[in-house]
């Protein structure tokens, strides 16, 4: 089977590595995979391919969705923890990347520091996928768009409000929403606003798509006009020592029934894990407008779509034994990287 490959980047570190057409292409492919309309469901297009999954941070949804996704496409997932790899500690990021390139066909990494992802991607010619960093969470943003599209139809002109910390999830949502013409408002404490460069970039994209990008610090009007209200924990993994400091600052930004009364038909999103009674009340998270588990499921489908677009199906090379004697050794050396050029 031949899978059509539209122009696609060799890395997926940021939502903006995809142009608007690329985002729609991934969402369409994810929908086809989810509903059994893609031949990739049964044809194991990644048979013969291996994907290294590096986890500096523990994970439930990210690890299971990527591991299952690679396996469903016929590939072999290889899970590596931070201690096993020691990125930048036990050995350099470039050494890790170039070693892995001799064994696997792509790297998926969930890291603390975004610079580590950039270092991995700069050192190799194979695909590198951001499974979460301190700067962005692009796979989550694609899953968010997919679930919103399922429940709202066209995203252009719809309004999603993110309430809480202007973190990596908020950053990717701003960029993704702007790319598809969706209005995004982040409502957060002033000291915890999204990075100014991310906001500027989202507004630049929005100028061409008709989206509106807003940053507000008023929780009293947070949900007004919203088609969807989205929140996340107040202290992410690695910020546990800030939890007590953050709690009083963020408590006015809790998503409650009173807040949602301004948008009684709005959908409720959360990237999970959730702390009921902190960033969101249990009766909102578990209420009839909540689509958080549809949202979590879609991590699988969008990541399978990204893998299909980045990792080319395996095509067996000719048997070196059939080649003339002088070409066998260089052929064998080249086959160790499956013909990929070495980074210059």
For residues 83 and 151, which has the higher predicted lDDT (pLDDT)? Answer: 151
Token digits of residue 30: 């994810």
Residue 84 — very low, low, confident or very high, per pLDDT cuts 50/70/90? confident
List the catalytic residue out of 56, 140, 146, 303. Answer: 140
What is the predicted pLDDT for the residue at 89?
A: 80
25 and 121 within one domain: yes
List the catalytic residue out of 271, 281, 295, 303. Answer: 271
Asked if pLDDT for residue 4 goes beyond 60, the answer is no
List the catalytic residue out of 159, 232, 281, 309. Answer: 232
What is the predicted pLDDT for the residue at 8?
A: 67
The answer to whether position 112 is within a domain reads yes
List the catalytic residue out of 49, 61, 63, 137. Answer: 137
pLDDT in tens, 220-266: 999 999 999 999 999 876 677 788 999 999 999 999 999 999 999 99
Residue 116 — very low, low, confident or very high, per pLDDT cuts 50/70/90? very high
The answer to whether position 194 is within a domain reads yes
309 and 286 within one domain: no
Query: What percentage of residues in the chain have a pLDDT greater than 70?
Result: 88
pLDDT mean across residues, the chain: 90
pLDDT in tens, 305-333: 999 999 977 665 545 455 455 444 443 44
For residues 5 and 167, which has the higher predicted lDDT (pLDDT)? Answer: 167
Asked if pLDDT for residue 2 goes beyond 70, the answer is no
Sheet of strand 11-12, all strands in order from the earlier edge strand to the far edge: 11-12, 128-132, 106-110, 50-55, 76-81
List the catalytic residue out of 11, 149, 299, 309. Answer: 299
Residue 38 — very low, low, confident or very high, per pLDDT cuts 50/70/90? confident
Residue 1 — very low, low, confident or very high, per pLDDT cuts 50/70/90? very low
Residues paired with residue 246 on neighbouring β-strands, in sequence order: none
How far apart CA 280 and CA 265 sit, in angstroms, is 17
Question: Into how many domains does the chain fold?
Answer: 2
Q: What is the mean pLDDT of residues 110-138?
A: 97
The answer to whether position 142 is within a domain reads yes
Q: What is the mean pLDDT of residues 39-46?
A: 87
The answer to whether position 330 is within a domain reads no
List the catalytic residue out of 110, 201, 254, 309. Answer: 110
163 and 23 within one domain: no
Residue 341 — very low, low, confident or very high, per pLDDT cuts 50/70/90? very low
306 and 281 within one domain: no
Range of the domain at 253: 138-296
Q: What is the mean pLDDT of residues 264-278?
A: 97
Q: Where are the alpha helices (DSSP H) in the chain?
A: 20-34, 40-43, 61-72, 82-85, 93-101, 114-123, 138-152, 168-179, 196-209, 243-250, 257-260, 282-285, 292-310, 325-335
What is the predicted pLDDT for the residue at 86?
A: 81
Angle at CA 229, nearest 5°, toward 223 and 234?
100
Q: What is the mean pLDDT of residues 50-62?
A: 95
The answer to whether position 161 is within a domain reads yes
288 and 169 within one domain: yes
Sheet of strand 228-231, all strands in order from the earlier edge strand to the far edge: 213-216, 183-187, 159-163, 228-231, 267-270
Q: What is the mean pLDDT of residues 285-291?
A: 98
95 and 160 within one domain: no
168 and 124 within one domain: no
How far apart CA 136 and CA 175 sit, in angstroms, is 10
What is the predicted pLDDT for the residue at 321?
A: 53
290 and 157 within one domain: yes
Helix (H) or strand (E) holding 76: strand 76-81
Query: Is 232 a residue of the active site?
Result: yes
286 and 303 within one domain: no
Dihedral, CA atoms, 148, 149, 154, 157, nearest 10 degrees?
20
274 and 150 within one domain: yes
Residue 88 — very low, low, confident or very high, per pLDDT cuts 50/70/90? confident
The answer to whether position 337 is within a domain reads no
Query: Is 271 a residue of the active site?
Result: yes
Residue 334 — very low, low, confident or very high, per pLDDT cuts 50/70/90? very low
Query: What percentage of residues in the chain have a pLDDT greater than 90?
Result: 79
Q: What is the mean pLDDT of residues 25-34?
A: 97
CATH code for the domain in which residue 281 is found: 3.40.50.1370
The answer to whether position 342 is within a domain reads no
Query: Is 201 a residue of the active site?
Result: no
Query: Is 137 a residue of the active site?
Result: yes
Token digits of residue 130: 């951001």
Q: Residues 6 or more apart from 219 whose CB is under 8 A from it? A: 163, 187, 252, 253, 259
Range from 90-99, 149-158, 320-329 carrying the lowest mean pLDDT: 320-329
Q: From residue 308, how far is each of 5, 74, 134, 179 by CA, in Å? A: 9, 11, 25, 21
169 and 114 within one domain: no
Query: Is 110 a residue of the active site?
Result: yes
Q: What is the mean pLDDT of residues 120-147?
A: 97
143 and 259 within one domain: yes
Are residues 87 and 57 in contact, defined by beta-carbon separation less than 8 angstroms? no
What is the predicted pLDDT for the residue at 343?
A: 42
Asked if pLDDT for residue 55 goes beyond 50, the answer is yes
The answer to whether position 333 is within a domain reads no
Q: What is the mean pLDDT of residues 186-213?
A: 98
């Amino acid at each position: 089977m031949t899978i059509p490959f539209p122009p696609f980047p060799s890395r997926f570190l940021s939502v903006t590595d995809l142009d608007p057409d690329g985002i729609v292409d991934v969402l369409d492919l994810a929908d086809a995979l989810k509903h059994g309309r893609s031949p990739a469901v049964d044809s194991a297009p990644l048979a013969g391919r291996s994907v290294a999954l590096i986890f500096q941070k523990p994970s439930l949804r990210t690890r299971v969705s990527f591991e299952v996704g690679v396996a469903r496409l016929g590939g072999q997932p290889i899970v590596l923890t931070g201690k096993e790899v020691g990125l930048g500690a036990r050995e350099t990021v470039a050494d890790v990347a170039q070693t892995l390139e001799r064994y696997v066909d792509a790297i998926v990494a969930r890291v603390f520091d975004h610079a580590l992802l950039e270092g991995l991607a700069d050192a190799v010619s194979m695909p590198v996928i951001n499974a979460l960093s301190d700067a962005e969470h692009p796979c989550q943003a694609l899953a968010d768009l997919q679930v919103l599209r399922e429940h709202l139809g066209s995203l252009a002109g719809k309004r999603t409000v993110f309430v809480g910390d202007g973190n990596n999830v908020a950053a990717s949502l701003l960029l993704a929403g702007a790319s598809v013409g969706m209005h995004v408002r982040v409502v957060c404490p002033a000291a915890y606003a999204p990075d100014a460069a991310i906001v500027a970039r989202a507004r630049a994209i929005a100028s061409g798509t008709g989206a509106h990008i807003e940053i507000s610090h008023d929780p009293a009007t947070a949900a007004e006009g919203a088609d969807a209200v989205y929140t996340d924990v107040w202290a992410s993994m690695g910020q546990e020592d800030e939890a007590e400091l953050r709690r009083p600052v963020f408590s006015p930004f809790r998503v409650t029934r009173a807040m949602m009364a301004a948008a009684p038909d709005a959908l409720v999103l959360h990237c999970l894990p959730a702390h009921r009674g902190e960033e969101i009340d249990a009766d909102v998270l578990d209420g009839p407008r909540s689509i958080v588990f549809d949202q979590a499921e879609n991590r699988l489908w969008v990541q399978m779509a990204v893998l299909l677009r980045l990792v080319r199906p395996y095509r067996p090379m000719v048997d070196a034994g059939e080649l003339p004697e002088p070409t066998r050794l260089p052929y064998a050396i080249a086959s160790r990287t499956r013909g990929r050029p070495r980074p210059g």
